[in-house]
Structure 1
Amino acid sequence: MKLYSFADLFAGCGGFSLGLAQSGLRGKFAIERDPMAFETFSANFIENQQSGFAFDWPAWLGKVAWDIELLLAQHKQDLVNLRGQVDVLAGGPPCQGFSFAGRRVEDDPRNLLFEKYVEVVRALQPQALILENVPGMRVAHASRNIVHLPIPGERVEKPKSFYDKLVDSLDVAGYKVEAMLVDSSRFGVPQRRSRLIAVGVRKDLCEWLDGGIGRIFVLLEDARIAQLKELGLPEAVSASSALSDLETTGREMVDCTDPESRSGFREVRYDKPTTTYQRLMQAGHRGKMDSMRLTRHRDDIRARFGRILAECRKGVRMDDESRKTYGLKKHRIYPMASDVPAPTVTTLPDDILHYCEPRILTVRESARLQSFPDWFAFKGRYTTGGERRTRECPRYTQVGNAVPPFLARAIGTAVRNLLEEVSLARSVFDEATGERPVASTA
């Protein structure tokens, strides 16, 4: 099988890149603008050669945090020169402007970053592209302008979602696109996380696909089933199956020595994995795990969390009445259930309560729920607040924004198999006719 390559735009800390590399694709380069997120990416894919997922980084591209607009301004011709060397372009523009979990803003500048994604697509012309985002990308934003009352008989144009606009732009760029809502928990990720997965294939290749572009999601289901079998995982991995070896009750506690952590924080001394999922996460890990720091809750906060765990229904978001009862102002709080996948991990560490301990999760526990292996190191501050929250990407934010590697692994396998089917179909045609067909440039 051919070794296919990929590039990752809006790479964050590297969840998408890790999963694609796990599927057998080879990384070419990645673009991420936030210094802390790129520091994490660099630690795992550039500096750490032991992981086996090093990139074939082009000499002209600095191994630093890049803004995609600056990349296009300074290196567009270099991207054009890479045509034929990047088979798959992955990218997940920031989703805050589309998200139902936060405040949806029609003119959020982050919503327009997909246009830069399309510009890179035009430059590289990869065989296939992948875009991951929240389900809200497919829902048209309501305009904040004055509502126009239609004249009787007048045809009113339905507002387009950003996904619709993306598809239109990629169609002009020469790609057919299909999308599907996918739940990460079906792929071995111990977390209910619904995401919109869009896959595009260059139009000149689509004619070789049996079933057209929709073939990709047949292959994705095949990849999902094969992945669970290969990894020895059930249809759903529970939160306790993912995290029980990181519980603090009855365990030895030690000082946190992370250079990014102030003194006075504690963490559990790790013993050993006890479930199949935990053994998968521990595979390849040596030494001490990072990002194990426990939050220092006040006694009254721990008491409140304890009451919530004892009295409230687990596995569902606390309703308005329950939050009022416990004096909580936060809109989104989930007391996690132990026997089912966790709720969606977000960028806010206090959105989820541990299933049996009166505390929020550590960065490492959140990473476990995203299917990051334990050898994967996180860099930068643990969290931030105030105005910096929209401009910085500390560890909790990096994890919450990431594509779960196990989901990306299955997507990468499906896309690789799709490209193999195209290659095989074209080879059979060549042998049968004795000539090479002229690829359409439409």
Structure 2
Amino acid sequence: MENLHSPSSPTFIDLFSGCGGLSLGLSQAGWQGLFAIERATDAFETFRANFLKPESRCKFKWPAWLEQSAHSIDDVLTDHECELAKLNRKVDLIAGGPPCQGFSFAGRRNNADPRNKMFQRYVTFVKLIEPKFLVLENVPGMNIAHTRHGNKAARRGETYYDKLSRALVELGYAVEPMILDAADFGVPQHRERLVVIGMRNDVAKSFPAGCVSLFNKINSVGKAQLTELGGGKLVGAKQALSDLAVGSGRAREQNTIEYTGAGARAGYVQKRYTGPDATPYQLLMNKGVNQTQMDSMRLARHREDVEDRFRDILATSRRGVNLSLADRERFGMLKHRTVPMSPSVPAPTLTTLPDDIIHYSDPRILTVRECARLQSFPDWFLFEGKYTTGGARRKSECPRYTQVGNAVPPLLAQAIGSGILESWRASGAKVNSGVGRKMVIKKKDAAAMRL
């Protein structure tokens, strides 16, 4: 009979892993990665650099039957169904973040977008493997009904979350959703995400309040992280990035050196890094990293008129919010999203477009490393591939800015992984001692946890 108690090294599989933000957070929480599925070659190469090399800090125990390369989830389901079936009830957690562009209000929000159906592949994996726990991360728009023509939220209708939940319940899982903001977990960025937690019904018997108890613990872990990194207050952009600022003019010349990394060309420079400032967040991100190991530090090469415009925006526009229509007209900007950062509050939600956000003091866009800092990737985490791409190539390539913008913030993922693991271990102790069958959360509190 399957042992439902928490092992010393619980295992997980990461579907739609991207560059590995969710995998990193779960690994740091004490989970052991088995394998991950990611279709984009560039993103998988970043995953390989951080999880599959002998010196990797969070090394996966990759199975011999699956090639260590980029795969589509359809191909894995088709080519390795027998191997997956052998993992039935032998994996503790399936995690994943199906592509969210079809749900996001930042995009076209098209009901016919084929990426909307990727959650069905997630369900197929669950059916084959029957893990004890599930984690699924997506944009909040997954729980808002689509209209036939996209773009507008429907007042009535079944959402993609409703479809997901119904499918998982039919497979024998208890499921609950919650909107979590990464900023509440110590991440220096406001980033609201729909997080879905599931437990197999036989496992759920050990949790009187069901998945709500897991969210209680996840939020408790997040509060502790926030206390450690921000003294209980949200971590601001300057607290996260001040050691990476370069200034402008002569200060920029003094604070930069020639960029010689991947994609180096004449005229590119990077920050002359001298170490973190004494903020808890920077000290955590830079822990154990030699100054010469800083990756993805290349600064954008802006034209002089672009720098002048950015300088004027920083001097005259409201910080931390999108430029107003009047400001866009005043600066002759056609872009619909340009946010000059505020130094004292968390950054706005990062996207895959690097020119959506202007640095809080330098007249420039952010570097990949600065974006990674705002996502809570530690400074030792390496990124592979191009920095940017454009045109038709955006459909087939996944450059560094896109990898970072699509990722789950590792600190948020760590809290999720820690919350589930701590709750699981506590439930085992209660069952063994004959304690824990009473409802420990009031009904009104449990209702407040739900969407």
Q: Is the 8 A contact 1:106 1:142 kept in 2?
A: yes
The equivalent residue for 1:138 is 143
Deviations 1:90-127 (A, max 9, x none): 00001000001121111100010000000001111110
Spell out the pairing of 1:10-21 with structure 2 (5 A cutoff): 10-21=16-27
Corresponding position of 1:2: 8
Match of 2:216 among 206, 218, 232: 218
Aligned to 2:442: none
- How big is each residue's C-alpha offset from its partner over 1:21-68, in whole Å with a ceiling of 9 and x where there is no partner? 1111111111111000000000000115242x1011111111100100
Number of residue equivalences:
419
Match of 1:247? 245
Residue in structure 2 matching 1:69, options 74, 91, 95: 74
Cα distance 1:231–1:195, how it changes in 2: closer, same or farther (>3 A)? Answer: same
Structure 2 counterpart of 1:346, from 348, 351, 375: 351
Deviation per CA, 1:196-242, whole angstroms, max 9, x where unpaired? 01001101111221212211111112211233345575431110010
1:291 and 2:293 aligned? no
Supply the distance in 1 between the matched residues of 2:264 and 2:119 (Cα, whole angstroms). 35
Question: Contact 1:131–1:199 at 8 Å: present in 2 too?
Answer: yes
1:399 to 388, 401, 404: 404
Does the aligned pair in 1 maintain the 2:227–2:233 contact within 8 Å? no
Residues 192-341 of structure 1 correspond to what in structure 2 (within 5 A)?
192-229=190-227, 233-249=231-247, 250=251, 251-274=254-277, 275-286=279-290, 287-341=292-346
What's the C-alpha RMSD, in Å, of the aligned pairs?
1.8
**Displacement of 1:388:** 1.5
Match of 1:36 in 2: 42
Give the whole-Å Cα distance in 2 for the aligned partners of 1:329 and 1:238: 28
Q: 1:70 to 1:233 in 2, by over 3 A?
A: farther
SS at match of 1:217: helix
Q: TM-score, normalised by structure 2?
A: 0.90
Distance in structure 1 (CA, Å) of the matches to 2:195 and 2:162: 14
Q: 1:370·1:405 contact (CA, 8 Å) conserved in 2?
A: yes
TM-score using structure 1 length:
0.91
For residue 404 of structure 1, what is the amino acid of its counterpart?
P
Q: Which structure 2 segments of 5+ residues have no match? A: 1-6, 438-451
The answer as to whether partners of 2:237 and 2:345 remain within 8 angstroms in 1 is yes
Provide the C-alpha distance between the structure 2 equivalents of 1:207 and 1:384, rounded to a whole number of angstroms.
49
Structure 1 residues 423 and 83: alpha-carbon distance in aligned structure 2, compared to 1, 3 A threshold: farther
The whole-number CA distance in structure 2 between the counterparts of 1:421 and 1:73 is 38
Q: Tell me how far 1:425 sits from its aligned partner.
A: 4.1
Structure 1 position 107 matched with structure 2 position 112: yes
The 4+ residue runs of structure 1 with deviation greater than 6 A are: none
Q: For the residues of structure 2 that align with 1:3 and 1:288, how far apart are their CA atoms?
A: 30
Is residue 89 from structure 1 mapped to residue 87 from structure 2 by the alignment?
Answer: no
Alignment-derived partner of residue 191 in structure 1: 189
Distance 2:344 2:156 in 1: 43
Given candidates 76, 84, 93, the residue that maps to 1:79 is 84
CA-to-partner distance for each residue in 1:150-198, whole Å, 9 max, x for gaps? xxxxxxx941111111101111111111011111001110001111010
What is the CA–CA distance in structure 2 between the aligned matches of 1:102 and 1:326, rounded to whole Å? 24
> Gapped runs of 5+ residues in structure 1?
146-156, 433-442
Contact 1:209–1:421 (CA under 8 A) maintained in structure 2:
no
Give the letter for the 1:169 counterpart: A
Letter in 2 for 1:3: S
Decide whether aligned partners of structure 1 residues 163 and 330 sit closer, same or farther in structure 2, where only a CA change above 3 A counts.
same
- In the alignment, the residues of structure 2 paired with residue 322 and residue 108 of structure 1 have an alpha-carbon distance, to the nearest angstrom, of 33
